[in-house]
Structure 1
Amino acid sequence: MEITRQLRRDRINKRGFAPIHFTICWAGNRLRIGSGEVVRPEHWDEESHKVKAVKGSYYNQINPKLAAIEEAAETALYTAEQAHRLLSEEALRQALEPVLKPGKASATEATAPAAPLQQSLGFFQLMEQWIQESARKLHPTTFRPMAKTSLAGLKATKARFEQFSATKKVPLTLQGMDNAFYMAFREYMMDELGQETNTFGKHIARLRTFLAWCEEQDLPVNRRYRKFAVPKVYVGVDALTEHELRRIQRLDFSSEEVQKRLLEIHKATHSKANSDQMPNYQAWAAHVRLARDKFLECAYTGLRISDAERLAWHHVKGQMIHLKAGKTQRECYIPFYDDSLFHLVALANAYEHRSHDDLLLPTCYRVNEFLKIVQQLAGITRLNLTTKLGRKTFVTLKLYQGVPTRSIMQATGHTTESSFNHYVGVDTISLLEQFMRRSPNAA
């Protein structure tokens, strides 16, 4: 899904305000819709497509609403894909309605000041309030709410501490956050449950954030929690090797062998009982090929699938791609040339006259579902093929090509090496070859 914002300068009203409109493109569909917000043209940032943070622009009210509209559209598409159906224009309009025209009751709830926290609330009641507030809070840079996966992590931490309290029959309190609690929870997690160090560290990190929030509410918190260590062990990640990536590249969908296997998979996965609803084989096979190419797009650029789906020719500036990441709003500078392994230009040229809305590649719905078929065709069993694996493959193989870490981080949009390292895998074969090349006694 590609979502863009436009300031309609051609519709400036008598007071000098112009309306803000959205254009939403997905799966060959396009919807143009007004946001219900207006702004003076001098207060509109053409580069970031949001209201400038200047006095009198009401950016604190308008920008969060614009972000909420985008979030509602993306959620509607995600929900439709999870239900294995295409998102219709009418369904999208209905999904956006509560954000575009909130009812009086919801508007009252949104503007009502938060009720003061009572010290009489229990530990887990306070944690629930913290989770709810975290879910409503917008990121100060992107104006987006917390990701669903991050919110699920907070809920998982609350559930884990509830389990610990019930199992050990120890009530948790803000005043009880001391070293004795820390050691007891560590033993429970790592010795009794056999959890990894990083899992224990994640729960402690979230606990520290929660207790800091409690302090901001002027609640009596044992300050010893600030000394809670957050252990973290780098374990590496999975990424395709150069050999595995080439196997995916070399899949020839016009060959008799691949066509035969595709037909077998199609027959096996689509019951004859539902033959009336069986998707056309040629269209289905073409979508498998598009899923392969969409994966390669992620592997060649290091982009998240959400950004790869909106990557267009107007982002290409000579031999570089300039794209602002949707999740972090950070600029990504990605090489746009072909070498012996990364063939982004050739891939884009193959779709130049077949893609819609100037996109490098067409939108590919349910891409990870179709990548399971690509994985079978390529004979890859070591790991599961997903678009996220493409991003990790880009990072890992670029490092093995000798590209400096900082240069790769400029392509992926990472600002810290600690977050960047979560995308670095280990190709043991390439690693051994590098050691042997540098060894004077190597045979």
Structure 2
Amino acid sequence: MSDAAPPLQGHSAGSRRGWVVTACCFLMAIFGWGTVFYGHGLYLSALKAEHGWSTAQISGAITFFWVVGTPMTLTVGALIDRFGPRLVTTAGSAFVGASVIGLGQVSELWHVYLCFAVMALGYPAVGALGISATLSGWFERRLPVAMSFALTGASVGAMVVVPLMARMTASDGFTHAATVMGGLTIAIVVPLTLIFMTRPATAPPAAGGITALAHIGATARSRLFWTITAASCISLMAQVGFLAHQIPILEERLTRTDAADAVAVTAAAGIVGRFGVGFLAERFDLRLVAVISYALQALGIAILALAEGPVAIYAACAVSGFVVGCLVILPPLLVRRWFGPTGYGKSYGLLAVFAYFFEGLGPGSVGLLHDAMGGYGASLWYMVALLGVAIVVITRLGPPPPGAAGR
């Protein structure tokens, strides 16, 4: 089965087909983020309650997820560049669904690590890397808008999947909730990706072998690339650390279902913010957009650290959530604008290798701080400090090289 869409007659036909692919990415993101990116906090809370494992032990499994996924990021980008997204995203969806089902069946701690490893094999294909590599072939000037729409599915996933799983867990147990949601991921997303995840027939196949290695080598020698990578890694380390522990953090002051609702508030605010960054990215310097995004995330976490009542807690989640999607979408947009579309999957895949490693450090380091300090207070200020460092780093980024696409 070829990934290439049939030859298109005119720009409008290509645009329509590209938006169909974008809609498929939107639906894939609902389950990808709902069961993985935002789901980690629910799994941490549920597994701790059901099995008595410590926060650090389960956080270690989440860190293991990011570490195992690290080499997959470069592989997924290269595979989509060369062969197209259909089989890559289909396999990723199946792995994610199976891993969620497995989490509901665990009885030993090593089972948790195994399930997170399987999840790590699939998530890069259904996450920001897979979506951005897919859409990069369909869009150029409108890529920020297409990415914003597709990744709005991530917010919908947090608004729908996480509260639904929390309520199913409360009423029927975590095993039932994980089985239902993992099964739905396989039943809905796998057929969609098989049918709709195509690439343009006019897209040139990516070069392989030595040419691909040469492209990666040239990217790795660029100071601009490492500045983008450093800012992205540090900011995502803070964000993933926060999101992985958000429900346990909130459970210190709210019930689990109320905490899940606060996650939904975070995600709802993210819908507005994600479209905001898509609008701003077409009109303003991405470095300024990044500084504002990092600062708002830090402000939201700082408010949460100081909040004492439910209103302040929900407000903090809204402020932080407003830029959750921005921090996810900024790395691919920065890479595309500073390095152009050629070999995009490999360029962003290289960044994602390091991003995954640092994202893995986030939940683990927050969990260790929690256990060492007996609460999340120090962890919250630690994440605020990380975002401050990211602001300093991104201000050191120079302008795009002459001729870079999308300046």
Q: TM-score range by the shorter chain?
A: under 0.3
More helix by share: 2
- After TM superposition, the score normalised by the length of structure 2 is 0.24
- After TM superposition, the score normalised by the length of structure 1 is 0.23
More strand by share: 1
Q: Relative contact order (alpha carbons < 8 A, sep ≥ 6): 1 or 2 greater?
A: 2
The structure number with the bigger radius of gyration is: 1
